[in-house]
Structures are given as C-alpha cells and as structure tokens.
Amino acid sequence: MLDTRKVARKLRELRENSQMTQSQLAEALFVSRQAVSSWEIGNTMPSIESCIMLLDIYDVSLEELLCLQKKEVTE
C-alpha cells in the first residue's frame, strides 16, 4: 500500500535535491505547476506516465520514488 504522505515528501526532496523549481519540473513533465504542487502536498499522485519520466529525471528506481519497501524473503 502506498503511503501518499511519504511519496509527497520524497517527490519534494528529489526535486529540491535536483535544484529544480516546481515550474521547471512541470515543464519537463508537460503538466501544470499546480499538478506538481498537488503531488508534493499529497493531494494527488503523478500519473504512470509522469512517474516513468520522473524515474529518468531523478535517476531513481520505482521503489525509491514511491517509497516502497521490498519484501524480505524468509526461509
């Protein structure tokens, strides 16, 4: 299950670490600045297409972008 608050914090952190403004990121993703803002406060989630582009922009895995924990294999 996705924790939208964690994802929102991660999206903002990744953008800030990339030294991009919300407007710059929005332009790169072909979305509005308001959409980026909405993702970063946890009101909405990026589309699948936007997530794929974010993976390339930030050079992160899907697991990192969406704050997913890999399940450990127990024997």
Give the CATH number for residue 41: 1.10.260.40
Res. 1 pLDDT band, cuts 50 70 90: confident
Which sign, positive or negative, has the C-alpha torsion 25, 29, 32, 34? negative
- Give domain status of residue 48, yes or no: yes
- Give domain status of residue 75, yes or no: no
Q: How many CB atoms lie within 10 A of CB 36?
A: 25
Position 55 scores a pLDDT of 97
Position 32 scores a pLDDT of 98
User: Which of these, 43, 62, 39, lies nearest to 52 by C-alpha position?
Assistant: 62
Position 73 scores a pLDDT of 62
Res. 75 pLDDT band, cuts 50 70 90: low
- Give domain status of residue 12, yes or no: yes
- Give domain status of residue 33, yes or no: yes
Q: How many domains does the chain have?
A: 1
**pLDDT tens, position by position, 29-72:** 999 999 999 999 999 999 999 999 999 999 999 999 999 976 66
- The domain of 43 spans 4-65
